[in-house]
A and B are shown apart, each in its own frame.
Chain A
Amino acid sequence: MTKWGMVIDLEKCTGCQACSTACAMENNRQPGESWQDVLYYQEGAYPNVKLSWLPRPCMHCENPSCVHVCPTKATYKTEDGVVLVDWNKCIGCKYCQIACPYGVRFYTDTKAPVEPDVRTVFAAADGKHTWSPPYKAPDGREDWTHGVGIPPAGVVSKCTFCYHKVSKAPAGVADLNEDNPAVKEYVPACVRTCAPKARYFGDLNNPASEVNKLIAEKKGVRLLDHTGNKPQVYYLTGKSAVIPSGRALKNT
């Protein structure tokens, strides 16, 4: 069985946020609802200042705490290893947000972080959706049971690994590589748009996949392994890149 996973090479990542933008456009996310974020860390003081960054999608953990705590089974793990939210079952209790060590979940009904509030400017006329963006994907692609499309109010949303794409990939494929014309339509938006090609997406259960080779050869590491969540997103640090160990670093 396929187990989709991602590898991010931090030595290649330039922190350009094209992945964040592509994700927001592909999945119609609101400002602040950053399913795919690039986190910046500033340490030290002038003239000894260091700026580092960390691209951070949902980790789609092997042992996801968000799935365990969800009291309605709205958050679940698919057979191909993707963690999704069923918006028809979510009650908006936000316990999954509490339990996620990576901060990758978003309640759809909080104050807008920037004004004007897009939910007011592009208000949904049907009363079912949180908003009606002018560039939204075709209605036929909407799939609330897999957390795809424009969500209703009062639920939690998260990165789906572009499930509307990867779930249609040919069976048995080892890697979803944007350079391969046969599979490029199934590649997650953040991977496909990554200019320095820092992202790789493939089957962690397939020993021949590029992601498995990279993890083995370049010593892929996972975020906050001590929590036992076992992310399916691995980072390659090489000789120079680092992963922040703390959740928050002071800007001093």
Chain B
Amino acid sequence: MTADVHRSTAPGAAPGGQALSTLILAVSAIGFVVTVGLVLSALAGDGHRAFNTNNDGLFWGLPIVTYDFFLLTSTGLAVTATIGLALGVKEFAAVSKRCLWLALAGLAGGVLSLFLELGQPLRALWAIPFSFQFASPLYWKVLCVGAYVVLLLLTILRTLQPGWSVRAIRPLAIALMIAALGVSMIAGSVFGMMVMRPFWFGGEIPVAFHIESVLGGLAFAVFFTYLAHGFDQDRLPAGVRALFRDRLPFAFTLVISLHAMFVAARTVSGLWSNADGLQVWQHIAASPLFHLEIWVGVALPLYLMIAPGTRSNGRMQILAALLVMVSLFVARYDFIIGGQLIPPFKGSWAPSMLSYVPAATEWLLLLAAIFLANLVNAFGERFVGLDDVPADT
């Protein structure tokens, strides 16, 4: 490949992909305007009374679940992108540009959700960076996310230049990978350091966040790469097809396995323990959503990626990616909400276990984040050329 800009050569990829991305762009734009308008209207009228969080103990609701899910997906996508650009596994460079753009799209959705959840979002922009509150995990998280955003934008800008290469972009990609790993680690520490909440507490939580982040990154990379090519394996560029035939299913299997081990270990130890605060595991284990998450969202994709007959099959890869994406969202929901279901000292003023159902405004905020992320991604698919690969691969 010697041309300045290296693109897909698969027959029919461009016209079909463009039509689909134009459709997604239009639907996402309309969906985003409608949902964010409804959310802003509810917040302007009722403030955060439009959410179903409360002072009994359920302080962080669906908007924080959405924020953390999108943020970790974004960092996972950045790590996936930099496997090819920073670590020298050149096969992964076939999806690097798309992953970088998807990371930006996910970040946009997450930041939207966070800003509409914070009580004073504009104040946060200056109050956190200039507080120098070194003891707070959130302070470090914001610093790390700031560095991550800058590095992600710089890396994307480099990939927009004609003739971009792995060699030229590597220092930036290494810095981006470190920042992305830093964000997911601190995002885990925000929960893992809370000794007063046994459901969350533990040094393994940041490690689990790393794994879930990379798993989400791989799943989104698979799904949205197929989406860009009309879910047709034959229209994938040759480099992507080779990656999806060999290295990616292996990496996907490995990370799903690690995730499955963490889920199993945490569930078993949680169910066994009788420490105050861990009784929520009984509640979670009795929930159909949890079983959907572990059997359909973890075990089935693991089987699909291990079995020789399905691991390289495009449709099975799409199915596995979709199931993993949904199960990771359910896992994030169970983790964040579950950690708050046992109320702190409230006596009989609160039930022994809280219940939480997100309000319509919170669901709309989730939809707004999804529409925004898809809007950004579809814009990239339509106008940026996300199938480009580095000149030196």
Contacts and interface: CB of A to CB of B under 8 A. Distances in A.
A56 interface: yes
Nearest to B132: A73
Interface stretch (A2-10, A175-183, A198-206, A241-249): A241-249
Contacts of B343: 103, 247-248
A74 B57 CA distance: 21
Contacts of A72: 123-124, 127-128, 131, 133
Contacts of A90: 119-120
Given A91-B123, A92-B120, A247-B345, A33 B55 contact: yes
Contact of B127 (A39, A74, A247): A74
Contacts of A34: 349
Contact of B124 (A93, A94, A223, A228): A93
Given A91-B127, A227-B196, A111 B345 contact: no
Interface in B209-260: none
A92 B118 contact: yes
B48 A154 contact: yes
Interface in B17-61: 47-49, 51-55, 57, 59-60
Given A41-B347, A72-B131, A106-B55, A99 B120 contact: no
B344 A101 contact: yes
B196 A99 contact: yes
B290 to A, nearest CB: 21
Given A103-B345, A109-B47, A91 B60 contact: no
Q: Which of B55, B128, B351 has the most CB of A within 10 A?
A: B55
Interface string A25-59: 00000001110010111100000000001101000
A224 interface: yes
B51 to A, nearest CB: 8
Interface stretch (B75-83, B102-110, B136-144): B136-144
Nearest to A39: B347
Contacts of A37: 346-347, 349
A141 interface: no
A78 interface: no
Nearest to B193: A69
Contacts of A73: 131-133
A91 B121 contact: yes
Contact of B348 (A32, A154, A251): A251
A54 B347 contact: yes
B276 A68 contact: no
B338 interface: no
A101 B57 CA distance: 10
A83 B143 CA distance: 26
Contact of A153 (B119, B127, B344): B119
Contact of B128 (A91, A98, A102, A109): A91
A32 B344 contact: no
A103 B346 contact: yes
A71 B347 contact: no
Nearest to B127: A72
Contact of A39 (B53, B142, B346): B346
A224 B54 CA distance: 23
Interface in B134-153: 135-139, 142
B182 interface: no
A232 interface: no
